[in-house]
Each structure stands twice: as C-alpha cells, then as structure tokens.
Amino acid sequence: MRRRITRRDFVRTGTAAGIAAAGLRASTHGGKAFGKAPAVVPVGAAQPVVITSSNGNWFKNGGTQTCVEKAWIAMMAGSDVLDALIEGVNIVELDPEDYSVGYGGVPNADGVVQLDSSCMHGPLKRAGGVASLEGVRTPSRVAREVMNQTDHHLLVGKGAQTFARNLGFTIEDDLNTPLSRKLWLEWKQRTDPRHYLTTKERAIASGDEGAVLRTADAVRRQMAAEGLFPASKMYGTINCDGINAKGEICGVTTTSGLFFKIPGRVGDSPILGAGLYVDGQVGAAGSTGRGEANLFNLSSYFIVECMRRGMHPKDAGMEALKRIKSNTIEKRLLNPAGNPGFNINFYALNAKGEFAGVAMYALEDDEKGWAGETGRRVRYAVCDAKGPRTLQVEGLLPGTPDGKS
C-alpha cells in the first residue's frame, strides 16, 4: 500500500507573520502614518483602495511587501493604476511558495505549467489577456503588452509565447519548482500507476493488486483531503483591483489554473467578463474559485452591471452568487444539502471606492493553513488609508461547500 504523504512532505511550514505596514518611510509622507490618503478629498472624488484575494496580503517573495501593499504604495505615489496593480501581483507570480499562480504554479496533467491572465484599464478602455502561456513567470505583464501592443484582447498557447519572446520576455523551459513537481508526480502516480511506479509497486508482480479506476478529479480531491494542499486552492488565482483618488479604476487577474487540468484547459481568469471586468465609470470585479461556474454566468460582468444600477458591491456580488446557485443543477456539483459543492469568491469595488468580498460560503475547512489562516474563514485583502489588512468575506450560504455546518 502506498505511503500516505502529508502536507509536511511538500510544504515547509513557517511562522505566521503579523501583517505589517511596509515600504513607506515616514519622511516620504511628512511623518504621517502608513499610506495616508490626502487630508482633503475633493468632492466627488473616490476613496482610493486596492482589493485582492487573500494571497495578496500574505506572500512576499522574500521581500517586505505584499501584493496589496506594493500596489497601494505605487498607486499613491502616482503610478498608473494598472501598472501599480501588476507590480503587486508580480510579487505573487514570482513567489514559489504560492503554488496557485505564476512560477511554481501547479502544472497541468502533463506536468507543464500553463498560465492565464487578463487586465483591464478603465480610463483607456483597453484590455488584454493570455491563456495557456508557457515559460513566462509573469503572465500579467504579457497580458498588459497584448493590451498595449496589439489590436487584440486575447492571445493563447504557442502564439502567446511567441509574442512574449518577440517583446523580449525570458522564455524558460520549465516553470515547475521542486514543490509543484512533487505534487504533480504524486498525482500522476495515483492516476497512472502503471507508468509512474513507486518503489513498492515496482516490486509487486503484475496483477497482484489489480487495476483501480481512479478519475483525475477524485485523486485531486483525495490529495487535498490528505492535506497535500487546500482543496479550496485547486483553482488557484489572484485578482487585484484598484481605484485612485481621481477615480481611475483598473484590474488584473492571474493564475496557473486548475491543478492538474487537461492541457489547454482555460478557466475564467483570462476571459473578460468572467475572471475580470472593469468599467471606468462604474467599478471593477474579479474572481477566484471554480472557473467553470464563473464562465457559465459571466459573473464579473454581471456584478459591474448590478453596480451600474446602483447596487453596493456587496449586494452586486450576492446577486451573482444567487445566479450561480440557481444555474448549478448537475448532481455531481451539489452537496448533500442540494447546494453548490464548491466555493467561488468575488472581489468588487465601485467608483466611490466602496468595496466588498463575497463568496458562496464564508467558511471552508480547507482554508486552514492557506495564506496565514489558522481557522476556516474565507478571506480577502484590502489596502487603503488604514493600511493593509485581511478581512472575512460575506457568504451567501451557511456552512461549508461540503454541506457541513
């Protein structure tokens, strides 16, 4: 019987660090506290804010700043909002400890890391994206160049890689890290043991244990149940949206996609209206979680349209979740209570700078150990004049995705 491998075999545990305000020297702001907004905000102007998924206020790639801090600092220093947000998500894309995004993202079923990203610029009314991009650690930067350098909104696969190479991006043969490679090999051994033998299986005579039918998804979920990674992070991703004091709104989403996905599978992240949508006069919305549910409902676009009709970001997000719930009818996707057996999270802000983080469920047993969470709260991150912090989302349904309380 194959030895059960614990999460400790894959992930080096560390001491949970407190959330610290970093990067701004007191002299830069005349001795004021971290990231203070202007003392006088012009009438009609927005309250500046950056909002991200929870990994945006945890991973630092060996530095002192998180994504949400970096983006806020750059935005308040006068950088273009989208450039600031991309600087922020680059921290997560480059950090090998976050195996759901960029370098070291968990690969597809063939062991190849394929990355997706999209970005939207509200003031310029432009957008760009890439899907199934291989060999580039920062797909968000390539997505921005698609927006700036082409007449297109989306480049995919080999074409996206060639485009990146032509613009001088470094193309690497393999974006796996030892951790992502180990996770893939474990998954591969379980789904295809005849091809990838363990030491014990190599010593067993053919036919002694018989063949076991194990679907890729079942194995993925079993690995999560054994603690190799949080099940809630099988879909990866970071979304980051921001608005400055002038009311300029932008957003970016980047991901390595569903763990061990079918090669070429594209989720919601690079698709405008699904993984991200921005209207410069209304607001922005983005998502993490089950991409297929988001794609079917074009939820980010729907949220922005709800805000256009006057809804607060929280209420708009809840409307999108209700639509997903009503459209989820396949038994395989339902828990024993008849509700969606998966989670999906939305992050939204409007033109006033009001924001919200919502999810199908505000609690998930699998959240423990992810991005510093010690319990089972589903969280998101924000940075404004009060500094960076991590907050719990508002949930549509009680309990957890598996139907438990």
CA–CA separation, 246 vs 142, rounded Å?
A: 27
Look at 5-9, 241-245, 401-405 and tell me which has the smallest mean pLDDT. Answer: 5-9
Among 127, 134, 140, 128, CA closest to 162: 134
Structure confidence by residue, pLDDT tens digits, 350-387: 999 999 999 999 998 766 555 566 678 899 999 999 99
Task: Give yes or no for residue 257 having a pLDDT over 50.
Answer: yes
Q: Which helix (H) or strand (E) holds 379?
A: strand 379-384
Rounded to whole angstroms, the Cα distance separating 248 from 241 reads 11
Tokens 């990203």 map to which residue?
Answer: 117
Query: What are 163-177's pLDDT values in tens digits?
Result: 999 999 999 999 999
pLDDT confidence of residue 33:
40
Cα angle 92, 98, 104; round to 5: 95
- Give the closest residue to 151 by CA, choosing from 135, 127, 130, 131: 127
**Catalytic, out of 237, 253, 328, 400:** 237
- Determine the average pLDDT of the residues in 48-71: 96
Quick check: 8 pLDDT over 50?
no
Residue 402 burial (C-beta neighbours within 10 Å; 0-12, 13-18, 19+): middle
State the sign of the Cα–Cα–Cα–Cα dihedral 5, 10, 12, 15.
Answer: negative
- Which two structure tokens, joined as six digits, stand for 391? 């907050």
How, if at all, do strands 126-133 and 154-156 pair?
A: parallel
Q: Given phi > 0 = left and psi -120 to 50 = alpha, else beta, which region is 232?
A: alpha
**Residue pLDDT, tens place only, 131-157:** 999 999 999 999 999 999 999 999 999
Using CA atoms, how far residue 13 sits from 345, 369, 370, 372, in Å, is: 26, 9, 11, 10
Q: What CA–CA distance (Å, rounded) separates 100 from 337?
A: 29
pLDDT level of residue 37 (50, 70, 90 thresholds): very low
Average confidence score pLDDT of the chain:
84
Q: What angle do CA 386, 387, 393 make, to 5 degrees?
A: 85
80-106 tens-digit pLDDT: 999 999 999 999 999 999 988 999 999
**pLDDT above 70: residue 61:** yes
The three-state (H, E, C) secondary structure of 94-154, written as one string: HCCCCCCCCCCCCCCCCCCCCEEEEEEECCCCEEEEEEEECCCCCHHHHHHHHHHHCCCCE
Evaluated on CA atoms 325, 331, 333, 336, the torsion sign reads: positive
Instruction: Kindly list the domain boundaries of the chain, sorted by start residue.
Output: 50-174+233-397, 178-225
d(CA 80, CA 63): 22
pLDDT tens across 287-313, in order? 999 999 999 999 999 999 999 999 999
Tokens of 185: 């090999």
Q: Using one digit for the tens of pLDDT, what is the confidence trace for 181-232?
A: 999 998 888 887 655 556 664 444 333 333 333 455 667 667 766 766 655 5
Assign domain 50-174+233-397 to its CATH superfamily. Answer: (Glycosyl)asparaginase (3.60.20.30)
Could you confirm whether 255 is annotated as catalytic? no
